[in-house]
Copies of this chain bind each other. A is one copy, B any other.
Amino acid sequence: MADTWLTTLHTDTPQEGFELAITLSRRGVKYTQPDAEVLHKLRPEYSTNADSLIAASQVVALNFQTVAAANNYWRK
Q: Are A28 and B60 in contact (CB under 8 A)?
A: yes
A61 to B65, CA, bound (A): 10
Distance between A12 CB and nearest chain B CB, rounded to angstroms: 11
Q: Given the interface contacts A8-B74, A47-B33, does A62 sit within 8 Å of B56 by beta carbon? A: no
Q: Are A51 and B57 in contact (CB under 8 A)?
A: no
> In the complex, what residues of B have CB within 8 A of residue A27's CB?
18
> In the complex, what residues of B have CB within 8 A of residue A10's CB?
75
Q: Given the interface contacts A38-B47, A55-B51, A55-B58, does A64 sit within 8 Å of B64 by beta carbon? A: no
Q: Which 10 A/B pairs are nearest by Cβ-Cβ distance?
A: A28-B57, A70-B73, A46-B50, A61-B62, A28-B60, A6-B15, A42-B50, A33-B47, A54-B55, A32-B56
